[in-house]
C-alpha cells in the first residue's frame, strides 16, 4: 500500500526531511546520513548502517539513539537529542514499547529540561526493572527539581548496583548542593580516576566539573589545569573552553580568557557563554564588542537558556517584567535552589524585596555554598534595611567569588569594601 506523505518541512540536527503521518517517518529521519567526520559521526554512521539492515534489531536502534546522545553531549546541539527521541519513536513503531526505548526517551527529556516528564518515565523504568541506569535517570530528574530528599536514597540504590564514575559524579553534585565543597571535590576526583581511559567524553566532563569546583574553592591554578585537561581530551569542547576562560579571568589573564571564551561562544552561543564573554570584554575595555554579544544574548537567550537570561536581565536591572516571567516559568519546571534564586533576583529588579526574601530563603535552604547565591542574599537583605545580615552574606560570598563574572565580582567587592552601607543600586 502506498503511503501518503505530508510535505511539512522539518529541520533539526543538520537533517532536513519531509514529515509524514506514518510509522516509517521516524525511521526514515534517523537513518538519513549525517555529515561530519568526528568520532561521534562515525559511530552514528556505523549504527545507522546496522539499523538500516534487513534484519536490524532493537539493540541496533538503541545503539544509534545513544550515538545521537553522545553527539549532542559533545556538541551541545539539541538537534541530536531530537534525533535520539525520533530513534525511540522508530523503536516503538517497529518493536513495540521497550524498556531501552523508554530509557533513551527519558534521557532526552532530561537533557531538554522536561524534568517532570523525565521523572515519570524514570519511575516507570524503576518499577519495571530498577537497573542502575534507571535509578540514575530518576535521581537526576529529582535533583533538577530540587527534590534532594527523594533523590539521595535513589542515588544510593544506584551506587549499590553500579559504583563507578557516573555514580561518583552524581555524589559530587549532591555534596556540592548540600554545601560540602570538600566532599564534592573528593568525589569528582574519584570519578575522574574511575572513568574508563578510552572514554574521552566522560573524562572531559569530569574535568570540567572539577574545574568548576576548584574555581569556587579558590583553587584557580588547579581549575585552569582541569579545564586544559578537558580541552585536550575532546577537541573544541565548549564547556572546557568556558571553564578555561573563567579560570583565566580569576587569574587576571583577561586577554587569554577572551580567546577561550570567544571560541566557546562560537561553538555554543548560549546565554551563560555569551554573558561571560561580554562581561570579560567590558572588563578589558572592549565595550563595543560586548554590546554586540549582549544583543545576541537578549535576542535569542529565551529559547536557549531562559533562567540565565532572567539572571542577566535582573543583574542589569532591565526588563524586570521579562526577567520575572522567565524565572517563574523555569521555577515551575525546575524548582531547585538556582531557580528560586533567579526568581528572587528578578523580584529585586522589580523592587519587591519582601517576596525576594521568601524566595531567597528557599534558594539557601539546602546549604549550597555559592557566591552568586550569597551575593544576591546580601543585596536582598540590604534592600530590606538589614545591613548586618547583608554584610554577613557578602562576607560568605567572598571565598567563592572567583566563580562570579568580572562585573559581579566588582560589585561584590564594593559592597565588602563599603561595609554594605551603600544603597542597592549601582
What's the confidence (pLDDT) of residue 420? Answer: 57
Place of cell 532536513: 16
Q: Write out the three cell numbers for 413.
A: 567587592
Q: How far apart are CA 184 and CA 86, in angstroms?
A: 36
Q: Domain residues of the chain, as ranges?
A: 1-112, 305-426
Asked whether the whole model's pTM tops 0.85, one would answer yes
Q: Write out the three cell numbers for 393.
A: 552574606
pLDDT digits (tens, 9 = 90+) for 204-240: 999 999 999 999 999 999 999 999 999 999 999 999 9
Phi, psi angles (nearest 5°) of residue 114: -100, 70
Q: How far apart are CA 42 and CA 35, in angstroms?
A: 10
What's the confidence (pLDDT) of residue 116? Answer: 95
CB-CB neighbours of 256 under 10 Å:
16
pLDDT digits (tens, 9 = 90+) for 356-404: 999 999 999 999 999 999 999 999 999 999 999 999 999 999 999 999 9
DSSP assigned state of 380:
H
What's the confidence (pLDDT) of residue 317? Answer: 87
Cβ-contact 408, 280 below 8 angstroms: no
112-120 mean pLDDT: 95
Burial class (CB in 10 A: 0-12, 13-18, 19+), 142: buried
- Cite the DSSP H helix spans in 305-398: 306-315, 320-333, 337-349, 353-364, 371-383, 387-397
Judged against a pLDDT cut of 60, whether residue 9 lies above it is answered with no
Specify the higher pLDDT residue, 57 or 422: 57
pLDDT digits (tens, 9 = 90+) for 154-207: 999 999 999 999 999 999 999 999 999 999 999 999 999 999 999 998 999 999
Judged against a pLDDT cut of 90, whether residue 16 lies above it is answered with no
Average model confidence (pLDDT) across the chain:
91
Q: Write out the three cell numbers for 178.
A: 548540600
Q: Which residues contact 153 (CB under 8 A, 6 or more apart)?
A: none
CB-CB neighbours of 251 under 10 Å:
15
The CATH class that applies to domain 305-426 reads mainly alpha
Cβ-contact 377, 364 below 8 angstroms: yes
**Nearest residue to 324 (alpha-carbon basis) of 294, 296, 355:** 355
pLDDT digits (tens, 9 = 90+) for 38-65: 888 999 999 999 999 989 999 999 999 9
- Cite the DSSP H helix spans in 114-199: 115-128, 132-144, 148-161, 165-177, 181-194
Amino acid at each position: 500500500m502506498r503511503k501518503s506523505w505530508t510535505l511539512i518541512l522539518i529541520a533539526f540536527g543538520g537533517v532536513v526531511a519531509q514529515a509524514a503521518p506514518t510509522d516509517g517517518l521516524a525511521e526514515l529521519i534517523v537513518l538519513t546520513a549525517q555529515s561530519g567526520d568526528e568520532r561521534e559521526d562515525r559511530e552514528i554512521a556505523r549504527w545507522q548502517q546496522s539499523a538500516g539492515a534487513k534484519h536490524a534489531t532493537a539493540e541496533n536502534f538503541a545503539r544509534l539513539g545513544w550515538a545521537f546522545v553522545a553527539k549532542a553531549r559533545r556538541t551541545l546541539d539539541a538537534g541530536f537529542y531530537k534525533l535520539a527521541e525520533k530513534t525511540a519513536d522508530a523503536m516503538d513503531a517497529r518493536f513495540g514499547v521497550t524498556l531501552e526505548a523508554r530509557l533513551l526517551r527519558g534521557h532526552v527529556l532530561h537533557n531538554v529540561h522536561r524534568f517532570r516528564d523525565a521523572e515519570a518515565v524514570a519511575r516507570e523504568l524503576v518499577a519495571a526493572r530498577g537497573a542502575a541506569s534507571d535509578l540514575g535517570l530518576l535521581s537526576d530528574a529529582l535533583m533538577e527539581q530540587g527534590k534532594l530528599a527523594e533523590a539521595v536514597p535513589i542515588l544510593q540504590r544506584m551506587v549499590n548496583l553500579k559504583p563507578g564514575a557516573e555514580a561518583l559524579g552524581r555524589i559530587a553534585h549532591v555534596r556540592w548542593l548540600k554545601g560540602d565543597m570538600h566532599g564534592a571535590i573528593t568525589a569528582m576526583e574519584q570519578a575522574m580516576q574511575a572513568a574508563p581511559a578510552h572514554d574521552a567524553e566522560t573524562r572531559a566532563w569530569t574535568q570540567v566539573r572539577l574545574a568548576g569546583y576548584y574555581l569556587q574553592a579558590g583553587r584557580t591554578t588547579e581549575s585552569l589545569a582541569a579545564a586544559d585537561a578537558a580541552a585536550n581530551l575532546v577537541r573544541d569542547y565548549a564547556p572546557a573552553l568556558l571553564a578555561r576562560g573563567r579560570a583565566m579571568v580569576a587569574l587576571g589573564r583577561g586577554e587569554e580568557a577572551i580567546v577561550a571564551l570567544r571560541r566557546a561562544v562560537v561553538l555554543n552561543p548560549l546565554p551563560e557563554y555569551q554573558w561571560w564573554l561580554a562581561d570579560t570584554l567590558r572588563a578589558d575595555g572592549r565595550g563595543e564588542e560586548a554590546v554586540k554579544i549582549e544583543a545576541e544574548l537578549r535576542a535569542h537567550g529565551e529559547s536557549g537558556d531562559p533562567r540565565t537570561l532572567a539572571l542577566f536581565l535582573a543583574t542589569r536591572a532591565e526588563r524586570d517584567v521579562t526577567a520575572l516571567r522567565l524565572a517563574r516559568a523555569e521555577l515551575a519546571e525546575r524548582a531547585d535552589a538556582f531557580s528560586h534564586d533567579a526568581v528572587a533576583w528578578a523580584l529585586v529588579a522589580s523592587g519587591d524585596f519582601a517576596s525576594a526574601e521568601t524566595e531567597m530563603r528557599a534558594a539557601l535552604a539546602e546549604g549550597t555554598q555559592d557566591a552568586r547565591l550569597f551575593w544576591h542574599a546580601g543585596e536582598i537583605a540590604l534592600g530590606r534595611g538589614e545591613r548586618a545580615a547583608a554584610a554577613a552574606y557578602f562576607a560568605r560570598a567572598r571565598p567563592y567569588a572567583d566563580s562570579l563574572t568580572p562585573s559581579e565580582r566588582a560589585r561584590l567587592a564594593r559592597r565588602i569594601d563599603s561595609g554594605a552601607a551603600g544603597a542597592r543600586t549601582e
